[in-house]
A and B are shown apart, each in its own frame.
Chain A
Amino acid sequence: MGAKTTTNPDIERILGLMALATGDEKHEPSAYSTLDVLWVLYDRVLRYDPCSPRWEGRDRFVLSKGHGPLAFYAILADKGFFPADELRRFERWEGILGAHPDRNQVPGAEVSTGSLGHGLPMAIGMALALRAKGCGARVFALVGDGESNEGTIWESALLAGNQRLANLTAIFVNNHTSSNDLGDLAAKLAAFGWSAATVNGRDHAQIEAALRATDPERPSAVVAMVEPRR
């Protein structure tokens, strides 16, 4: 992470929290790719109460790919879901923060993920449930570009489009880890019936505008382009 230069104090602070984690850092590039979109989501868009993580009216966030959760954990700590000291026990026997999040251990984690392609279809179930309950909350799911090789991502794209899940927003963070060329992801999702936009995944104003936008008839996709992993 030392190569990153930034002047944003919020991002600097989150990077500092991430540095508290002393575990195995093999997931570091993917942790870092999500940093800006997750910060903007939690700082400016998502409705939640860290003192009541399961408050019914909250917006839901699903880290679909599960991989690289360090930025997610650091932001949850920064927002008060759990003490920042917990980050020092990242991936440790005595800690609650593994390399993939467990909803039954991490305050603020809505779902347990890790095997790729599970989170987005679960987010669809949550969005269907909120619709059935008449709850106006939104569901956000963060999907990796590598994860987008999984068939269930495209099953989900088809289903959410057909169900016109306007309360669902999928954020595709593209740091070019996919072995298969994904082409124009936003165009693909639009073809599946989504309202899709591509943004610079480091530009907070662009990210915020895209995350705030909804379509009354269609699920939303935000393709966040970030630099290729090293």
Chain B
Amino acid sequence: MTTSSKASSTTKSKPRIAATMRAQMVRTVEAVMAADERVVLLLADVGVEQFRGALRAYPTRALNVGIMEQTLVSAGAGMALEGFIPVMHTIAPFLVERAFEQIKDDFCFQGLGGSFISIGASYDYSTEGMTHHAPGDVQILRSLPGMRIVVPGTPGEFDNIFRAAYADAAPTYYRLSVARNAEDRPARFGRAVTLRRGRAATVIAVGPLLDAALAASEGLDVTLLYYTTVAPFDGETLRRSHEGGPVVLVEPFYAGTLTPAVVAALAPQPVRVEAIGVPREVLTRYGTPEQHDAALGLTPGGIRARLAQLIPA
């Protein structure tokens, strides 16, 4: 390809890892665009200010299409057809649910690769109300053949996994959240990390709920597995690590989203699966994401109370 590849001046002086996943997305994507001329960035009016460096540095490889998420995704597929690696970004419900058929037909059915990076996980946009929530994104994306889904727990984990996976010829969804864990874990694409071993149950913590799950399971005789890639689901680690009792999911999206993956991973062995996560209710409150977490029991105390009920003493 004969495009220009000037590094964005905005990325030079900053440390590689940012404090938030959103800021990290900008640093990582701009760094990858500087190093790889095949990468193109498509925005739909969200992130335009944050990505101003890329938009300025790469006038033909970075584009804000305006508020048209379906065309955002189809245009990304068109660029993928021509050998580019598209990165498409906007708020979760509009990227995933509004443009779902474009992701399905134009990427999955055609066998094209690209990265879909969302912000606004579950109720991160709490003050905006239910139309801006997306606790169902992972569930519907899991229905798509070939779709890969990453739920990082820290900015550093996003950076590592994105750099390792972006050039694979597969559609990949990155679910960025305001909530984050305090420290990076050795999370690689497609692999779960075993953080505790125990016999009474296996707790599966997903992405930014790890710290709460760790605190909640302190002192309990449980295996604790940390998942950042949820599709494909690392069934091997679960099979190897699960020593008995129920499998308890701690999910930052709709509770039970990963139940079929757990059941399939342990088959033909029967397993009791319990799920702690966002309930399938219309969430009409505003306030802060932390207030939603507290109301839904997605705090260390709330999760601990549920674990006490679910796990045999």
Contacts and interface: CB of A to CB of B under 8 A. Distances in A.
A125 B75 CA distance: 4
Contact of A121 (B40, B60, B74, B84): B74
Interface in B60-86: 60-61, 63, 65-66, 68, 70-71, 74-84, 86
Given A132-B84, A133-B2, A122 B70 contact: no
A131 interface: yes
B286 interface: no
Residue among B61, B65, B71, B77 with the highest chain A CB neighbour number at 10 A: B71
Interface string B101-118: 110011001110000000
Contacts of A159: 65-66, 68, 71, 75
A156 B70 CA distance: 10
Interface string B133-159: 000000000000000000000000000
Given A121-B70, A152-B71, A133 B82 contact: yes
A162 B40 CA distance: 19
A194 B61 CA distance: 23
B182 interface: no
- The contact size tier of chain A is 20 to 34
A128 B78 CA distance: 8
B74 A125 contact: yes
Contacts of B84: 129, 132
A164 to B, nearest CB: 12
Interface in A78-134: 103-104, 110-112, 114-115, 117-118, 121-134
Interface in A140-171: 151-152, 155-156, 158-159, 162-163
B267 interface: no
B79 A115 contact: no
Top 10 A-B pairs, shortest CB-CB distance: A125-B78, A129-B82, A121-B74, A125-B75, A132-B60, A122-B78, A155-B68, A155-B71, A121-B71, A126-B78
28 contacts: A104-B110, A104-B111, A112-B109, A118-B106, A121-B70, A121-B75, A121-B102, A122-B74, A122-B75, A122-B77, A123-B78, A124-B78, A125-B78, A125-B86, A126-B81, A127-B78, A128-B60, A128-B63, A129-B78, A129-B79, A131-B60, A132-B3, A132-B61, A152-B74, A155-B71, A158-B66, A159-B75, A163-B63
Interface of B: 1-3, 40, 60-61, 63, 65-66, 68, 70-71, 74-84, 86, 101-102, 105-106, 109-111
Given A112-B110, A121-B70, A128-B75, 14 more contacts: A112-B105, A112-B109, A122-B78, A127-B78, A128-B79, A129-B78, A129-B79, A132-B1, A132-B61, A133-B3, A134-B3, A151-B70, A155-B71, A156-B71
